[in-house]
Amino acid sequence: MIEAESRDLTLQSDYKDLLRGFLENKSEQDLYGAQQYSKRLLENQISPEDMVSLHCEVLEEMFEEISPEIKESFSVLLEVMVGYGLAYREHQSLRDKQKELEMQIDVAAKMQQTLLPKKIPQLPDVDIGVTSVPAGKMSGDYYYCVKNEGGHLGVAIADIIGKGIPAAMCMSMIKYGIDSIPAHRMEPSSLLENLNRVVAQNIDASMFITMMYGSYNPNQHTFTYSGAGHEPGFYYIAARDEFVDLYAKGLVLGVSKSTTFREYSHEVEVGDAIILLSDGVTECRVGERFIERTEITDIIRRYIDRPAQEIVEKVYDELAQLQDFELKDDFTLMFLRRQV
C-alpha cells in the first residue's frame, strides 16, 4: 500500500512538472516527454479515468482560480474515459485471447506436419513427386505415400471438409487409422471400408472426408484404386499423349457405416502416369471462373518430360500465379510415373 501511494505521488509530481513545462515553453521536447510519460502509465496500469482525475488535481494545484464550468467539464471527460477504459480493457482481453488461440493453432499446425510422410519412398522403376500447400496455417488436405512390407506402394489424398484444429484432429485419425490396418487388409476397397467405419463412429455428423486411395504393384505394374467422393485424378497414357479421368465412384467417408467401395484397376505401361489431387487444384479461380480440367492437363503436359517432383512444383507455381498467389483452398498434387 505504501509503495503504491509513493508511486502515485511520484507520477503526480512528474506530471505536474511536465504540464507546467509545456504550458510555459510550448516546446516539442515537452510533448515528447508526454509520450514517454504515457509508457509509465501503462507500466503502472494507470487507467484513463485515473489520468483525467490526475490532470484535474494538477490543474487545481497549479491555478488558484478555475471557473466552475471548466471544473464541471472534467466530469463529462471523466465519464468518457471511464467508458473508454472499459472498452480498452475488453479489447486487450480479446487480443490476449486471440494471441493464445494463435499460439495453439501454431502448435497444432506443427503437429499436423508430423502426420505427413517425412520422406517420399523411392521405387526403382517409379518416379514420384508430391507438393502440398495449405491455404492458411492449417491444412484440410492429407496425403499418404508409403511402401508396405510387400513392396507395394500405397498412395492416398484426402480432403477434410472443414478447417483448423478439427481438420487436424481428423487428419490424425486418418493417419493412425491407415497405420493400424493389417497388411492383408490394405486393398483399396477394404481400406476405405475400414476407415469409413472409424470416421462414422468418431467424428461429428457435420464433418465429412473425401479420399482417393490406390496401391501400385511394382511387380505386375498395376494400379488398383478406390474413391470416397473425392476429386477425380488423371491417368496419363504415354503412348497416346492422352489424359483420362481417374474416376472412382463412392460415398464420402462418414456418411454410413455400411458403405462399400468399388475397386478399379489400370495396367501401367512405361511412361504412363497417375495424378492424384485435391479440389484446391481443380477449383483454382481465374477472375470470375474456375479453371477447366483440360487447362490443368495442358500445364502438366508442358512439363511431362521433367522429373516428377519438378512437375508438381511447376504446376503449383503456375496455378498459384493465376490466383495472384492467394490460394482459396488447400493445394495437394501427387504424380507417379512408371519409368521402366
Show me where the domains of the chain are located.
Answer: 2-96, 117-338
pLDDT of residue 5: 65
Rounded CA-CA distance 240/143 in Å is 29
Q: Is residue 215 within 8 Å of residue 178, measured between CB atoms?
A: no
Q: What b/e readout covers 212-250, taking b as 16+ CB neighbours within 10 angstroms?
A: bbbbbebeebebbbbbbbbbbbbbbeeeeeebeebebeb
pLDDT digits (tens, 9 = 90+) for 242-284: 999 998 989 999 888 889 999 999 999 999 999 999 998 998 8
HSE-CB for 11 with a 13 A CA cutoff: 24
What Cα–Cα distance (Å) separates residue 125 from each residue in 202, 222, 270, 300? 39, 13, 9, 20
Question: What three-state secondary structure class fits 21?
Answer: helix
Architecture per CATH, 117-338: 4-Layer Sandwich (3.60)
Amino acid 115 reads: L
Residue 32: other Cβ atoms inside 10 A: 10
Q: Which residues contact 215 (CB under 8 A, 6 or more apart)?
A: 152, 153, 154, 155, 186, 187, 188, 223, 224, 225
Rounded CA-CA distance 278/108 in Å is 22
Q: Given the C-alpha cell 494463435, which residue does it identify? A: 102
Q: Is residue 230 within 8 Å of residue 249, measured between CB atoms?
A: no
Between 58 and 141, the more confident residue is 141
pLDDT of residue 138: 75
User: CA-based diameter of the chain, in Å?
Assistant: 102
Handedness of CA 66, 70, 76, 77 (dihedral sign): negative
pLDDT of residue 183: 62
pLDDT digits (tens, 9 = 90+) for 291-319: 899 999 999 999 999 999 999 999 999 99
Asked if pLDDT for residue 172 goes beyond 80, the answer is: no
Architecture per CATH, 2-96: Orthogonal Bundle (1.10)
Q: Which three cell numbers stand for residue 61?
A: 494545484
What are the phi and psi torsion angles at 117 (to 5°)? -55, 135
Determine if the pTM surpasses 0.85.
Answer: no
Lowest mean pLDDT among 49-53, 81-85, 321-325: 81-85
Between 176 and 144, the more confident residue is 144
Q: What is the DSSP string of 36-99?
A: HHHHHHHHTT--HHHHHHHHHHHHHHH-S---HHHHHHHHHHHHHHHHHHHHHHHHHHHHHHHH
pLDDT digits (tens, 9 = 90+) for 71-120: 777 777 777 777 777 777 788 888 888 888 778 777 767 777 777 777 88
Asked if pLDDT for residue 2 goes beyond 60, the answer is: no
Q: Which three cell numbers stand for residue 35?
A: 509520450
Between 164 and 259, the more confident residue is 259
Q: Which residues contact 301 (CB under 8 A, 6 or more apart)?
A: 241, 243
